[in-house]
C-alpha cells in the first residue's frame, strides 16, 4: 500500500519546477562556489578580500522572482548560507559575517527575497549549508557548532514569516558524525510545521532516504529514478537539482551551457515520474542574473505555455511509449509526450528529415475518444487495439520545433 502524501508534500509535487540560486562572496571571483577550498585560499584572506568588497548592487529580488514566474517556476531555493560560512541574512548577533554587516552591502537579502516571492506568488525555500569552512567549532567542537547551526536555522524560521521549506547540504562531509538531525528538524517543526525539510544526499547517494522528517529525496546532477513507495511509512517526494552549465556558483569562463532542448527534455523526464526539477542559476558577483541564463529560462517558460501546462498536475502512468516517449495524467486527461518530431518543410530549407510517423504506446487502458496536439489543437489519427495505441504524430509545422510535443487525449475508462 502506498501512503497518502502529507499536504505540504502533495503541494510541493504540484509545483514541479523551481529555481535554485547559488549566490555568495564566491560569486565575486567567478570561479564557482568551492573556490575557497579548491583555490586553497586562507580563511582570513578570503574574508578580508571578498567580505569588504561585497555589494550585491545588482541583486534585485523582485526581478529574480519575476524571472522565475516567467520561466514557469513555482518556487525558488536560495542559498542563505553556503559552505564559505557567509550568510545573506541577518544572523542577529550570532556572527558579523553576513550581508547586513558587509560594509558595501548593509542589506538583509533574504528579507528582500522573501518579500519579492510573496509579491509574485512564488514559494520561497531556504538552502542552508551544514558544512562550514568559516566557523572553527565545525572542526574543534562539533556539538557547539551544531548548536550554532540550529540557532541559525531558528532565525530563518522565526524572522521571515511563512516559508516553503529548508534545503540542507553538507552532511556528507562527516558521514560518521552524529549531526543531531532530530534536534535540527524539531526546531523547524516547532516554528514552521508546514515547511518542507530536504537534506541533499549528494552525488554519491542519489535518492537515498534519510531521517523520517525528510520530505523529499534528492538527485544531484542526475535524472531521478522512479521511487517504489509501496509499504513506506511516509510518502516522500523526489527532486532533481541540476546546473544550467557546469557550476552552481557563477563560473565566469564556463561556456558549457546546456541547450534549451536538453533543459526541456530534462524537465519532461522529471515530471514523467512525478519528480520536481530544481534548475540552478549562478548570479554574477553583483547579484544580477546573466543574460544567457535569463534567456534560457524564458525559453523554458515559452515551451511550458505552448505545450507543457499539464506538467504541474502530472501524475505518472503505467503507459509506456517507444524510445523517450511517455504519458502522464493530469486533470482527468492523459497527455502523451512525443520527442524528436522535427519540422515539416521543403528539403531545401529544413536541416534534416522529420521524425513524424506512427508512435506506439502500450498499456493504454480505456477507450481513447480523441487525441489532439496541445499547441495548436490539431486532431491526430490513431488506432487502438486492446491496450495498444498507435498515434500518427505529424512533425512540427515549419516555423516551430517544440522538441517535445504534447498531445492531449480523452480516454473513457
Tell me whether residue 1 is in a domain. no
Burial (0-12, 13-18, 19+ Cβ within 10 Å), 267:
buried
What is the band of 206 on the pLDDT scale with cuts at 50, 70, 90?
confident
Average pLDDT over residues 217-223: 94
Average pLDDT over residues 324-344: 95
Average pLDDT over residues 7-25: 98
Query: What is residue 81's predicted lDDT score, i.e. its pLDDT?
Result: 98
Q: What are phi and psi of 175, to 5 degrees?
A: -65, -25
Question: What are the cell numbers at 173?
Answer: 562531509
Query: What is residue 344's predicted lDDT score, i.e. its pLDDT?
Result: 79
Strand, helix or coil at 98? strand
Whether residue 337 sits in one domain with residue 222: no
Query: What is residue 79's predicted lDDT score, i.e. its pLDDT?
Result: 98
Share of the chain above pLDDT 90, in %: 92
Tell me whether residue 2 is in a domain. no
Query: What is residue 350's predicted lDDT score, i.e. its pLDDT?
Result: 60
Using only C-alpha atoms, the chain has a radius of gyration, in whole angstroms, of 23
Q: Is 386 a residue whose pLDDT tops 60?
A: yes
**Count: domains in the chain:** 2
CB-CB contact of 269 with 8 (8 Å): no
Average pLDDT over residues 225-244: 94
How does DSSP classify residue 204? G
Nearby residues of 395 by Cβ (< 8 Å), 6 or more positions away: 341, 342, 343, 344, 354, 355, 356
Average pLDDT over residues 330-348: 87
What is the band of 353 on the pLDDT scale with cuts at 50, 70, 90?
low
Angle at 302 between CA 358 and CA 394, to 5 degrees: 15
Whether residue 30 sits in one domain with residue 62: yes
**Strand ordering across the sheet containing 404-412:** 367-373, 404-412, 333-339, 326-330, 315-321, 357-362, 388-393, 382-385
Q: Is 30 a residue whose pLDDT tops 70?
A: yes
Average pLDDT over residues 364-368: 97
Q: Is 87 a residue whose pLDDT tops 60?
A: yes
Q: Is 337 a residue whose pLDDT tops 90?
A: yes
Whether residue 331 sits in one domain with residue 300: no
CATH of residue 259's domain is 3.20.20.80
Query: What is residue 355's predicted lDDT score, i.e. its pLDDT?
Result: 86
Whether residue 373 sits in one domain with residue 327: yes
d(CA 344, CA 404): 15
Query: What is residue 349's predicted lDDT score, i.e. its pLDDT?
Result: 57
Tell me whether residue 185 is in a domain. yes
d(CA 278, CA 397): 31
Query: What is residue 413's predicted lDDT score, i.e. its pLDDT?
Result: 83
Query: How many other CB atoms sit within 10 Å of the CB of residue 353?
Result: 11
Tell me whether residue 33 is in a domain. yes
Tell me whether residue 248 is in a domain. yes
Question: What are the cell numbers at 321?
Answer: 511509449
Whether residue 375 sits in one domain with residue 331: yes
Whether residue 404 sits in one domain with residue 349: yes
Last residue of a domain, one of 306, 332, 355: 306
Whether residue 250 sits in one domain with residue 384: no
Last residue of a domain, one of 288, 306, 324: 306
Q: Is 163 a residue whose pLDDT tops 90?
A: yes
Last residue of a domain, one of 286, 306, 326: 306
How far apart are the two ends of the chain, measured CA to CA in Å?
23
Strand, helix or coil at 196? strand
Whether residue 290 sits in one domain with residue 331: no
d(CA 373, CA 407): 4
Share of the chain above pLDDT 70, in %: 98
Whether residue 320 sits in one domain with residue 302: no
Average pLDDT over residues 169-193: 97
Tell me whether residue 297 is in a domain. yes
Q: Is 317 a residue whose pLDDT tops 90?
A: yes
Average pLDDT over residues 327-350: 86
281 to 19, 83, 247, 291, 377: CA distances (angstroms): 7, 17, 9, 11, 34
Whether residue 331 sits in one domain with residue 278: no
The number of residues making up the chain comes to 413
How does DSSP classify residue 236? -
Average pLDDT over residues 222-247: 94
Average pLDDT over residues 383-398: 95
pLDDT in tens, 238-252: 999 999 999 999 999
Give the DSSP per-residue string, 17-35: EEEEE--SGGGGTTB-TTH
d(CA 64, CA 78): 11
How does DSSP classify residue 289? P
pTM summary value: 0.96
Q: Is 259 a residue whose pLDDT tops 70?
A: yes
Query: What is residue 348's predicted lDDT score, i.e. its pLDDT?
Result: 59
Q: Can you give the residue range of the structural domain that contains 160?
A: 7-306
Query: What is residue 351's predicted lDDT score, i.e. its pLDDT?
Result: 61
Helix, strand, coil abundance in the chain, percent, nearest 5? 30, 25, 45
Pairing of strands 165-169, 196-200: parallel
Query: What is residue 202's predicted lDDT score, i.e. its pLDDT?
Result: 80
Pairing of strands 357-362, 315-321: antiparallel
CATH of residue 395's domain is 2.60.40.1180
Cα 242 to its chain centre, rounded Å, is 7
d(CA 287, CA 101): 17
Whether residue 296 sits in one domain with residue 351: no
Strand, helix or coil at 121? coil
Whether residue 390 sits in one domain with residue 336: yes
Average pLDDT over residues 103-124: 98
Amino acid at each position: 500500500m502506498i501512503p497518502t502524501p502529507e499536504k505540504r508534500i502533495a503541494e510541493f509535487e504540484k509545483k514541479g519546477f523551481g529555481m535554485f540560486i547559488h549566490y555568495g562572496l564566491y560569486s565575486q571571483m567567478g570561479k564557482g562556489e568551492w573556490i575557497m577550498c579548491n583555490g586553497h585560499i586562507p580563511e582570513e584572506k578570503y574574508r578580508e578580500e571578498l567580505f569588504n568588497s561585497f555589494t550585491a548592487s545588482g541583486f534585485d529580488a523582485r526581478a529574480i522572482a519575476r524571472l522565475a514566474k516567467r520561466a514557469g517556476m513555482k518556487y525558488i531555493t536560495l542559498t542563505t548560507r553556503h559552505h564559505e560560512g557567509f550568510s545573506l541574512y541577518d544572523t542577529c548577533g550570532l556572527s558579523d559575517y553576513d550581508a547586513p554587516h558587509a560594509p558595501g552591502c548593509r542589506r538583509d537579502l533574504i528579507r528582500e527575497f522573501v518579500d519579492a516571492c510573496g509579491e509574485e506568488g512564488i514559494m520561497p525555500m531556504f538552502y542552508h549549508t551544514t558544512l562550514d569552512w568559516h566557523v572553527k567549532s565545525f572542526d574543534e567542537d562539533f556539538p557547539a557548532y551544531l548548536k550554532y547551526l540550529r540557532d541559525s536555522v531558528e532565525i530563518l524560521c522565526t524572522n521571515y514569516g511563512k516559508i516553503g521549506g529548508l534545503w540542507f547540504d553538507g552532511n556528507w562531509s562527516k558521514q560518521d558524525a552524529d549531526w543531531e538531525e532530530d534536534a535540527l528538524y524539531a526546531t523547524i517543526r516547532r516554528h514552521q510545521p508546514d515547511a518542507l525539510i530536504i537534506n541533499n544526499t549528494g552525488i554519491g547517494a542519489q535518492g537515498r532516504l534519510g531521517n523520517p522528517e525528510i520530505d523529499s529525496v534528492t538527485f544531484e546532477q542526475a535524472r531521478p529514478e522512479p521511487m517504489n513507495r509501496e509499504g513506506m511509512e511516509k510518502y516522500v517526494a523526489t527532486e532533481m537539482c541540476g546546473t544550467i552549465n557546469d557550476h552552481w556558483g557563477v563560473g565566469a569562463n564556463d561556456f558549457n551551457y546546456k541547450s534549451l532542448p536538453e533543459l526541456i527534455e530534462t524537465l519532461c523526464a522529471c515530471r514523467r515520474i512525478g519528480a520536481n526539477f530544481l534548475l540552478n542559476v549562478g548570479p554574477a558577483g553583483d547579484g544580477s542574473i546573466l543574460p544567457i541564463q535569463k534567456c534560457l529560462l524564458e525559453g523554458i517558460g515559452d515551451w511550458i505555455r505552448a505545450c507543457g501546462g499539464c506538467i504541474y498536475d502530472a501524475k505518472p502512468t503505467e503507459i509506456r511509449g517507444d524510445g523517450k516517449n511517455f504519458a502522464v495524467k493530469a486533470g482527468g486527461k492523459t497527455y502523451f509526450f512525443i520527442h524528436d518530431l522535427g519540422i515539416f518543410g521543403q528539403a531545401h530549407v529544413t536541416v534534416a528529415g522529420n521524425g513524424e510517423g506512427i508512435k506506439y504506446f502500450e498499456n493504454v487502458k480505456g477507450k481513447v475518444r480523441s487525441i489532439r496536439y496541445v499547441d495548436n489543437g490539431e486532431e491526430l489519427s490513431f488506432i487502438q487495439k486492446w491496450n495498444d495505441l498507435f498515434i500518427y504524430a505529424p512533425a512540427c509545422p515549419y516555423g516551430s520545433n517544440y522538441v517535445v510535443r504534447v498531445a492531449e487525449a480523452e480516454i473513457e475508462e
